[in-house]
Structure 1
């Protein structure tokens, strides 16, 4: 190869190694983000499950104050407001779960992109390493003559 010296190829090889290390580090960080987002999804799901298991008890407490009794309209309005509050809280927990799922999907996509970049960096390093070996072998042959 005219104009390409073994020194240049070795410098290129070092650059490729650096890129590979950076790609590996990025992949490690992205995997960590995936793990954290998966934990956040599990936590949000656990909170929602616990809430849904506890909700009938809370509703029962509200209704127990009313059932079989003569109550004022204000008491009915207060019970209605408490039921609305229970519904609102469940929707909030569902939104938090949806957000955690969305963040987990984004983290998985970012990890996939980092994985693709790491594969590319490895392929480039292999090609450059092969070129460096070929040039080194050629240089050794030339010095033998």
Structure 2
């Protein structure tokens, strides 16, 4: 089994910093490169790191193009991966630019009303993208 050494793991923060810096290019790509939704796995992990952790565990799906990702918020942090078939508390269907805006904190779920499709438990989505508001019980009205 492969595992990073502590020295190798020290690269995580600089790499995540580069991902956060490159977020504006991610959707359109330099020179018009085609966007691939699975790139969001790495980007979301980097953008959501350090967010307040959830008071309750939730797993939400993020549907971009024809790809379904899952984001799991727990007390110990955020995990992002391609959907592994587990049940999802909610699914957010949106363009990649909106998902990146939510993850980067430039947008709130309330800002995206009419631009996204939300299925399931809105509080679970807030636990991932807007944990401070999720704590006070703010809900999305559609």
TM-score by length of 2: 0.21
Q: RCO higher in 1 or 2 (8 Å CA, sep ≥ 6)?
A: 1
- Choose between structure 1 and 2: higher strand proportion: 2
Identify the structure with the greater helix proportion.
1
How does the TM-score come out when normalised to structure 1? 0.21
